[in-house]
């Protein structure tokens, strides 16, 4: 995540960018809570995606269901780059950039998102008892959950950490897994933005897949390990990945410009395309327009609900609620 660049562009601070180091920008991130801490989250419902055409519901292959604009009075709320929803969608886990998670229950009204309940923040805990925030694994950018196991991708000091989820849903006993040497050579702030575990119907069933912001991809575990690439297009960068039950995958991408603001795009990639040496492209199934209520969309989750595939997106506000929003958006996927 290019935190310093985006924030300074938003502030119009070219001079500030020249005078401020990336390390100083990272230091501005709030410290993670030391233990599981209940918080209050206020939610403002979003009834339409397009501000200019509020009755429109179809956007490419997606049908807008509802959304929320989320705020909290705690400074450590925000910065969400990874998202998971439980198999039936009732619970969420959002990974923040400062080595902690938000866990909460989804509330609905008439089938639309209405708020979060039982919200709590919790630190990521390593196997030596330290908080990840107080280690070299402080810059957490990507998340995948499979049963009681969670994987977190770390930027700058590039790594993937394997956690156990305890009875409270907290990530504990974190240990770095073996990763390819080439991962260490990624640019400091262009590491693994996307992680996902391939589903049973995939030829890579159970394998952990990671994609860096620049499009370098890795099959990290399993019998078919190797590198691939996601072809860059139109100035977009990869920010997350989620598999469908069929084995196909959705790739979330984001771009930013000073005059155009944030853009968001989803591409669908066929299951068979994921293999060592491959160059992945994929069909664009959604691309945002200037009128759409989006922000810096970085987290992606998929679950099944009532026979539909539900696609959820969350935005990273860079811990700056005065300039950006934390949005949770929900769509149905037309298949």
Residues 258-314: tens digit of each pLDDT: 878 899 999 999 999 999 999 999 999 999 999 999 999 999 999 999 899 999 999
253-to-112, 265, 296, 332 alpha-carbon distances in Å: 25, 5, 10, 18
Q: What's the chain's average pLDDT?
A: 91
pLDDT at 306 (0 to 100): 86
pLDDT at 268 (0 to 100): 98
Q: Are 220 and 226 in contact (CB under 8 A)?
A: no
Q: Within a 13 Å sphere around the CA of 15, how many CA atoms are in the beta-carbon half?
A: 0
Contacts of 85 (CB under 8 A, 6+ apart): 91, 92, 106, 301, 302, 303, 310, 312
pLDDT at 194 (0 to 100): 98
Tell whether the model's pLDDT for residue 19 goes beyond 70.
no
219-to-3, 53, 191, 223, 316 alpha-carbon distances in Å: 27, 41, 15, 9, 26
Tokens of 15: 């001079």
* Cα–Cα distance, 141 to 145 (Å, whole number): 14
pLDDT band for position 43 (cuts 50, 70, 90) = very high
Size of the chain in residues: 335
* Cα–Cα distance, 192 to 215 (Å, whole number): 9
pTM summary value: 0.92
Query: Which residue from 208, 218, 129, 139 is spatially nearest to 174, judged by alpha carbons?
Result: 129
pLDDT at 71 (0 to 100): 97
Tell whether the model's pLDDT for residue 250 goes beyond 90.
yes
pLDDT at 188 (0 to 100): 85
pLDDT at 259 (0 to 100): 77
Tally of CB atoms within 10 A around 168: 10
Q: Where are the domains of the chain?
A: 3-333
pLDDT band for position 233 (cuts 50, 70, 90) = confident
Tell whether the model's pLDDT for residue 105 goes beyond 70.
yes
CATH code linked to domain 3-333:
2.115.10
Over range 117-136, report the average pLDDT.
97
* Cα–Cα distance, 134 to 124 (Å, whole number): 10
């Amino acid at each position: 995540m290019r935190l310093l660049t985006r924030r300074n562009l938003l502030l119009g601070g070219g001079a500030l960018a020249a005078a401020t180091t990336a390390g100083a920008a990272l230091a501005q991130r709030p410290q993670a809570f030391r233990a599981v801490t209940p918080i209050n989250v206020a939610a403002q419902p979003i009834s339409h995606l397009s501000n200019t055409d509020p009755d429109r519901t179809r956007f490419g292959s997606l049908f807008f269901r509802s959304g929320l604009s989320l705020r909290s009075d705690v400074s450590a709320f925000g910065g969400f780059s990874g998202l998971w929803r439980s198999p039936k969608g009732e619970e969420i886990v959002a990974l923040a950039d400062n080595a902690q998670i938000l866990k909460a229950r989804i509330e609905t009204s008439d089938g639309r998102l209405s708020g979060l309940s039982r919200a709590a923040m919790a630190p990521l805990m390593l196997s030596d008892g330290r908080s990840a925030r107080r280690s070299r694994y402080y810059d957490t950018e990507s998340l995948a959950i499979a049963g009681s196991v969670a994987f977190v991708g770390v930027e700058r000091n590039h790594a993937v950490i394997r956690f156990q989820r305890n009875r409270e849903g907290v990530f504990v006993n974190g240990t770095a897994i073996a990763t390819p040497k080439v991962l260490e050579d990624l640019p400091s702030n262009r590491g693994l933005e996307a992680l996902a575990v391939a589903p049973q119907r995939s030829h890579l069933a159970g394998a952990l897949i990671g994609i860096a912001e620049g499009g370098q991809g890795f099959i990290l575990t399993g019998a078919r390990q190797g590198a691939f690439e996601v072809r860059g297009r139109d100035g977009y960068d990869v920010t997350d990945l989620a598999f469908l039950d069929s084995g196909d995958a959705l790739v979330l991408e984001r771009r930013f410009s000073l005059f155009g603001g944030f853009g968001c795009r989803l591409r669908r990639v066929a299951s068979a395309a994921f293999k060592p040496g491959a160059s992945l492209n994929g069909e664009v199934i959604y691309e945002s327009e200037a009128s759409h209520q989006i922000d810096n969309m970085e987290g992606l989750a998929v679950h099944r609900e009532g026979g539909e595939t539900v696609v959820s997106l969350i935005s990273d506000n860079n811990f700056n609620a005065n300039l950006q929003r934390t949005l949770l958006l929900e769509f149905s996927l037309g298949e």
